[in-house]
Amino acid sequence: MPALGVKAGEVREAFAKRNLIGHLQALQKIADEEGGNRTAGTSGYEASARYVEDQLRAAGYTPIRHVFTYWDEDQEADREIFNILADTAGSEEHTIVVGGHLDSVSEGPGINDNASGVAAIIETARWMAETGVQPKNRVRFAFWGGEEIDLLGSQHYVDALNQREIAQTALNSNLDMVASPNGGRFIHDGDGSRYGDAGPPGSQEIETLFRDYFAKNSLPAEATVFDGGSDYEPFLRAGIAVGGLFTGDVGTKRQIK
């Protein structure tokens, strides 16, 4: 069994060679062919889901659809949407949920937001499978549906957990918008040192892990606030440690003298 620590040190180099852009191009093509977007409940979402499931299956995973319905006020009808979940081996007692939303807004293809997070998660899953990493704790890869409709997918997932399953969820790492053009490296402010609102216990350790990684590789990084705007929020409210990365959306990076 390969030692996990050794493998983790190889991640950056390994990822530099991986075709993350290929996933962005594939999801852009899907949006182009399906009316310009990949919104939950549409054909663009379904095609995106099949793409992700194919990738996971090819890597040896068994993805499942976590289906639920919600009342669509605009359509005045029940609408069915779903998350995609795929697990590694490892103990379920301390499950690590690595998630990002698969749906886009209705106004566009959703490439930074959030094909980028999807690409990073697919490649993480593939890398783990190909290198034969045997995680001690189970990693659950989650592709949320309906983030752009009030965090529907992640909220439904957390609501469906019983007390025991909540206790077994060690943390949620969220990837939403990780390929911003003109992007910065933002780490969620787990300890509250920058924005005053710390995440649940354990969130500080997640922030520290990312911080140390960037520092070790001489990459500048900043904290970003938990503003409730992405899928970590239902986990945070359930008292589960949360963290993750973000590269920016509407702000413009400028030089600070």
Cα 20 from Cα 120, distance rounded (Å) = 7
Per-residue x/- marks for Zn ion, 176-195, CB under 5 A?
x-------------------
The least distance separating Zn ion from the CB of residue 164, rounded to whole angstroms, comes to 30
Buried b (16+ CB within 10 A) or exposed e, 21-55: eebbebbeebbeebeebbbbbbebbebbbebbbeb
> Does residue 224 bind Zn ion (CB under 5 A)?
no
Least spacing, CB of residue 100 vs Zn ion, in Å: 8
Q: Is there binding between residue 114 and Zn ion (CB under 5 A)?
A: yes
Interface with Zn ion in residues 151-170 (CB under 5 A) = none
Nearer to Zn ion, 111 or 125 (CB): 111
Cβ closest to Zn ion, residue 86 vs residue 111 = 111
Report the C-alpha gap between 125 and 117 in whole angstroms: 12
Query: Which listed residue (34, 123, 147, 148) is catalytic?
Result: 147
**Residues whose CB is less than 8 angstroms from the CB of residue 135 and which lie 6 or more positions away in sequence, other chains included:** 4, 88, 89, 90, 96, 128
Report long-range pairs for 72-78 (Cβ below 8 Å, ≥24 apart).
72/41
How many other CB atoms sit within 10 Å of the CB of residue 163?
A: 7
Which one of residues 53, 113, 189, 207 is an interface residue with Zn ion (CB under 5 A)? 113
Task: Tell me how far apart the alpha carbons of residues 242 and 58 are, in angstroms, rounded to a whole number.
Answer: 29
Distance CA 188, CA 194 (A): 10
Q: In the complex with Zn ion, which residue's Cβ is closer, 88 or 173?
A: 173
The verdict on whether 92 is a catalytic residue reads no
Q: Does 174 bind Zn ion (CB under 5 A)?
A: no
Closer by beta carbon to Zn ion, 176 or else 207:
176
Stretch that binds Zn ion, among 108-116, 166-174, 186-194, 215-223 (CB under 5 A): 108-116
Evaluate the CA torsion angle 102, 107, 109, 112 in order and state its sign.
Answer: negative
Q: Considering only the stretches 106-114, 130-138, 203-211, 231-239, report the one whose residues sit in contact with Zn ion under the rule CB under 5 A.
A: 106-114
C-beta closer to Zn ion: residue 105 or 223? 105
Output the smallest distance, CB 36 to Zn ion, in A: 17
Q: Is the peptide bond before 114 cis (omega within 30 degrees of 0)?
A: yes
Which residues are designated catalytic?
A: 147
Residues in contact with Zn ion by CB under 5 A are: 113-114, 176
